[in-house]
Amino acid sequence: VPAAKPRATLNADDIVETALALIRERGVGGFSMRQLSDRLGASLGATYRHLPTKDALLELCGKAVFDRSWRPLQDGEDPMEWLQAQVMSLYHVLGEHRGLASYVIRRPRVSARDVADPVHDVLLSAGFTEDEAITTGVVLTLYLAGALLSDFEHSVTVETADAGALIAAGVKFILTRKGPGDATKPAAPAPKTAAPRARRTTRR
């Protein structure tokens, strides 16, 4: 085991954390590398020694926020309730970091597969057919992306109402394709645990 570095003056994790604080205050739109360096008490060049570009830094920030929000399905947990909770958690935590959503969505650091695969499995385990699960996944993903990227939370139209409640209602709408007493198609017997991950995770 190599000896742990004693008191690193500046490291990527600290930079990400300080960047997230600034983003919480002013959003990504009002975030600059100079301002960040000032806050870190370092020069611009020193900051750049730890990160290749601003874009890469914002991806790291997005990844950190995502990891803080994402919680895997636990044994015995209701899959659909888990899914709803995940979506709402992402909505809230990314809403607190305005402008950061675009650095999470469709960025390689948070692979679409990391999210899409578990979601797909959960939908299958809830009795959706393969096609239904695909369409529902696309709709759910783009719906959440739209809520985050259009800054729905701060929309003039919604200001008076509770934006979070409206979003949650939409999620429920998307996930409830049929009434609870649906009998037109016998649902696959839903196991207590999620179905095994049948689909390949092609990209890390």
Partner DNA sequence: ACCTGAACACCGTTCAAGT
Site of interaction with DNA (CB under 7 A)? 9-10, 31-35, 42-46, 48-49, 52-55
Short-list 118, 116, 92, CA closest to 106 = 116
Q: Of residues 162-181, which lie at the interface with a copy of itself (CB under 8 A)?
A: 166, 169-170, 173-174, 178-179
Q: Tell me if 138 contacts a copy of itself by CB under 8 A.
A: yes
Tokens of 202: 């092609």
HEC-encoded secondary structure of 154-202: HCCCCCCCCHHHHHHHHHHHHHCCCCCCCCCCCCCCCCCCCCCCCCCCC
Inter-residue contact 167 to 150 (CB < 8 Å)? no
Nearest distance in Å: CB 197, DNA: 36
Q: Which does 166 bind (CB under 5 to 8 A by kind): DNA, a copy of itself, none?
A: a copy of itself
Q: Tell me if 151 contacts a copy of itself by CB under 8 A.
A: yes
Q: Which does 21 bind (CB under 5 to 8 A by kind): a copy of itself, DNA, none?
A: none
Length of the chain: 204
Q: Tell me if 136 contacts a copy of itself by CB under 8 A.
A: yes
Which residues, in sequence order, are CB contacts of 171 under 8 Å at separation 6+?
84, 87, 88, 140, 143, 144
Nearest distance in Å: CB 103, a copy of itself: 12
Residues that bind a copy of itself (CB under 8 A): 102, 105-106, 112, 116, 135-136, 138-139, 141-147, 149-152, 155-157, 166, 169-170, 173-174, 178-179, 184
